[in-house]
Amino acid sequence: MGHTGQGKGEQSSAIDAGGMMDEKMREFLKVLRASNVGFNVVTSLCPVHKEKTGSFVADFRKGKYQCFGCGVKGDVDESA
């Protein structure tokens, strides 16, 4: 599962940190899926940047996620 960030400032450097960010995103998506059983598309607060209104969308049916606030996006791992 890789992801790219075309976000603002610090988000890019945090995303480029490599495997650590991938692991955190994988765990976040696991929790998101487990807490929203029965829903294929879930909107949430982004785990990458601080926000008050959720702009992070995970589409488990398509296997994609994206934050419309900071631009982070990628594929949902099968294990999520």
Whether the model clears a pTM of 0.75, i.e. scores above it, the answer is no
What pLDDT is recorded for position 22? 83
Query: What one-character-per-residue DSSP string does 6-30 give?
Result: --STHHHHHHTT-HHHHHHHHHHHH
Domain locations in the chain?
3-75
Q: pLDDT tens digit string along 4-30?
A: 554 444 444 444 445 667 888 899 999
What pLDDT is recorded for position 14? 45
In whole angstroms, how far apart are CA 50 and each of 15, 43, 69, 72?
A: 14, 15, 10, 13
Closest CA to 29 of 11, 41, 15, 14: 41
